[in-house]
Structure 1
């Protein structure tokens, strides 16, 4: 199957409150020969305040934020079209499942695009960071793993690439196209030096692979950040079929099986070793068949018969699975929802097919005709996002009252001093001061970059005050 290798550079770290500023996608065949390459850069939307730390890390200058050739809406639309055009394929990146994929989901939602486009028919999702961890566990030594200045293992893309002879300098890192090319080179290296790890993990690039292993009731090996544990799948979350509970069989179940419902619920959140592990089956988990990975279990492993006996105890216990079912149902029942539509990707429910058809039509129409479609959207979140895009992209098409509402929303969004989850101009200016105090006084380039960021932020703040 072909692959789509991609990378994003964003305005900040929180996926719900930031946008991609750069995107690069490389379409390759199953032999990893390039077929197409796409490099995109967009302007910063007016309602987003970029993180000064992110700009300092990526090297993006403030003037670049306003001079890019396309809008955020156009950039995301191009990504969506590329995914559809290049399917079937396995989507691949470095640390994308925990970050870039979340950025895309949240931004596809706020830009009236299918939030789960990377999981559409014909697409699978994989991550070189996950495959690298798997190779360290089951094919140790295949890939050189660098150590940082604190003596800790570093799996960052740039560090791993440089340790293994793949060109990616510090200046090139954090540029989407350079990072995508380096990720492709790292994947080539993994396929060459750790072929069994890659084969096993690509089988988990679709949720059906891990679910098959977890649902059989056989012994499996479950991988985390640095070690494998013997485990057995127990049940899917009643509220989310892609989330599975598995038991770490290195912990004797006799210590918790007879617990109350409250005790079992506490197993999901307690500190230290947790006997119940939650597995995201649609995020390429390190879930491996016993025969494929038992050789890599820790040296203090017990006999297979002990683990099989522990699994049987769990299956035969009269109350444990019932208590676990209730715990999973109520796992997030006390979580307070945020009162902002951007924060409702997972709590607000899936978008209906009817709304998605209206959104597709909305993208096709001229701006002066899009407003008429908004009232037909059944999801109030989409209505809010559509009105926002109208204000940002075609304010001349709005009625005066709608334009004034948009103006007031934008001013509040950028300048509020209340405690909000997104970055505002006042918070960003304070962040600049904190960054400056931590910089090496001799690092003239970074100080100059930070000065430019502060000037840009203050100019935006002054414009908002003058408009008010």
Structure 2
């Protein structure tokens, strides 16, 4: 079973933006559509949407407020759709790099299982990654448009139109239209490049790439536009789901004798010889015989084999590599905000997962006290209280309500350097966009700016909210 999906979001930052629309298309093994679902939600009141995203997607302020579902309710429905289709292969276009991460972060922030789409028997595949693999290995299989500089253009709409698949400019950025076009493009790739696609589909679960990444033999790793010969060497010391490879296109004599600190500096440079391969993210990865013919400006195979032998034979390189990578993120400070602590705070415990399930089941008036008493993880406890404030503020104690008001005003209006978009920064961006906008965009920007100003003016001078925005009220 296949489950194709697409999200339209409030912006491009998964920790700070949210899905506004989600579309799902369930298909059988023959790619015949069995069911389609489209969901839209109101914008959570603490999120300021990117003006750029609103212009691109055509979403208006009215659409942000007048939807039947809250963000919390839509995420719960998405979780049920994914669970009901298990096991399935989840497929989208640029989903592994973006949509999957948006889902994971929104699940986490709404107290749903963060890894519902990746740790429950589903495969994960990305038509953009598969398209890149086909373009690099079988460039004549599908028509690829090019820009003025001659570089391939791999946007969904452009590729679809170049290959006779219907997806107009007006339909682009509508989630269901994108999902249908993604299915059609996937079917075309299966027909035109069956061997390449079979290998890539084998990588939709981590067992596929793991089989190729057994240390010892060189393999071919794909990036966005180029294939690279690499040697799999060690598991990542900082990511259990990744393997570390060395770029055989570089002469190892330039780094093989470096001590760990100098090697780390080289790894952090623009000429890093290290490639990290995430085995659960459908890497573009091929055995030597399948892809070596597509290497650009390739050395003789004997050169790559000799470099591989030198790396394995060196008495200290592997150890220094491990030491360098162990310290790669030692100076990285964890985020101070729970929104961005999904990966820094560890996996959710079984007890907290059960408490979160129960939190979703009980009445709103009991959720704040339940979270305080039964959710041990401080990240989740904070997010649970936030959801009560956003969805049912009348159920909070006066003290909790006042704390929520302080947080809410700061979230929207702070002048500090913060990683999320605030109302002052969004208004400044509207003014910046207006300097180059066409007439239709100017009309849209005026409506967006007016809406931002209304949200700003709804905040009282001392932190009170004159009226909670419509998008924060439970219907």
Q: What TM-score comes out, normalization by structure 2 length?
A: 0.95
Describe the SS at the equivalent of 1:27.
strand
User: Is 2:11 the partner of 1:16?
Assistant: no
Alignment partner, residue 255 of structure 1: 254
Could you tell me how far apart the structure 2 residues matched to 1:158 and 1:430 are?
Answer: 30
Could you tell me how far apart the structure 1 residues matched to 2:348 and 2:101 are?
Answer: 17
Describe the SS at the equivalent of 1:298.
coil
Cα pair 2:8 2:21 within 8 Å, conserved: yes
Cα pair 2:215 2:234 within 8 Å, conserved: no
Could you tell me how far apart the structure 2 residues matched to 1:444 and 1:307 are?
Answer: 56
In the alignment, structure 2 segments of 5+ residues that lack a partner are: 466-475
Output one character per residue of 1:45-104: Cα deviation in whole Å (capped at 9) or x when no partner: 110111111101100111111001100001111111111100111111111111111111
Alignment partner, residue 29 of structure 1: 28
Q: 1:411 aligns with which of 404, 409, 412?
A: 409
Query: After superposition, where does 1:381-396 map in structure 2 within 5 Å?
Result: 381-396=379-394
Could you tell me how far apart the structure 2 residues matched to 1:175 and 1:453 are?
Answer: 19
More moved, 38-47 vs 335-344: 335-344
Describe the SS at the equivalent of 1:191.
helix
Could you tell me how far apart the structure 1 residues matched to 2:454 and 2:408 are?
Answer: 16
Query: After superposition, where does 1:165-314 map in structure 2 within 5 Å?
Result: 165-272=164-271, 274-303=272-301, 305-314=302-311
Describe the SS at the equivalent of 1:231.
strand
Could you tell me how far apart the structure 1 residues matched to 2:132 and 2:336 are?
Answer: 37
Alignment partner, residue 439 of structure 2: 444
Describe the SS at the equivalent of 2:416.
coil
Output one character per residue of 1:232-255: Cα deviation in whole Å (capped at 9) or x when no partner: 100011232212110111222222
Q: Displacement of 1:32 after TM fit?
A: 0.8
Q: Displacement of 1:297 after TM fit?
A: 2.0
More moved, 449-458 vs 357-366: 357-366
Could you tell me how far apart the structure 1 residues matched to 2:150 and 2:226 are?
Answer: 18
Could you tell me how far apart the structure 2 residues matched to 1:232 and 1:416 are?
Answer: 48
Output one character per residue of 1:249-277: Cα deviation in whole Å (capped at 9) or x when no partner: 122222221112122212321114x3211
Describe the SS at the equivalent of 2:167.
coil
| CA pair 117-410 structure 1, distance change in 2 beyond 3 A | same
Q: CA RMSD in A?
A: 1.3
Q: Displacement of 1:166 after TM fit?
A: 0.8
User: Is 2:333 the partner of 1:336?
Assistant: yes
Describe the SS at the equivalent of 1:448.
helix
User: Is 2:367 the partner of 1:370?
Assistant: yes
Describe the SS at the equivalent of 2:132.
helix
Q: What TM-score comes out, normalization by structure 1 length?
A: 0.96
Q: Displacement of 1:21 after TM fit?
A: 0.4
Output one character per residue of 1:6-26: Cα deviation in whole Å (capped at 9) or x when no partner: 110111111110000000011
Q: Displacement of 1:195 after TM fit?
A: 1.2
Alignment partner, residue 52 of structure 2: 53
* Deviation >6 Å, runs of 4+: none
Describe the SS at the equivalent of 1:105.
helix
Q: Displacement of 1:279 after TM fit?
A: 1.2
Could you tell me how far apart the structure 1 residues matched to 2:18 and 2:248 are?
Answer: 41
Cα pair 1:268 1:277 within 8 Å, conserved: no
Alignment partner, residue 348 of structure 2: 351
More moved, 289-298 vs 105-114: 289-298
Cα pair 1:245 1:279 within 8 Å, conserved: yes
Q: Displacement of 1:309 after TM fit?
A: 2.3
Alignment partner, residue 460 of structure 2: 465
Output one character per residue of 1:209-243: Cα deviation in whole Å (capped at 9) or x when no partner: 11221124212111112222222100011232212
Q: How many residues align?
A: 462
Query: After superposition, where does 1:47-126 map in structure 2 within 5 Å?
Result: 47-126=46-125
Could you tell me how far apart the structure 2 residues matched to 1:319 and 1:149 are?
Answer: 48
Could you tell me how far apart the structure 2 residues matched to 1:129 and 1:187 are?
Answer: 9
Could you tell me how far apart the structure 2 residues matched to 1:225 and 1:253 are?
Answer: 24
Describe the SS at the equivalent of 2:296.
coil
Alignment partner, residue 471 of structure 2: none
Could you tell me how far apart the structure 2 residues matched to 1:451 and 1:249 are?
Answer: 53
| CA pair 465-430 structure 1, distance change in 2 beyond 3 A | farther
Output one character per residue of 1:106-141: Cα deviation in whole Å (capped at 9) or x when no partner: 111110011111112220111011000100111111
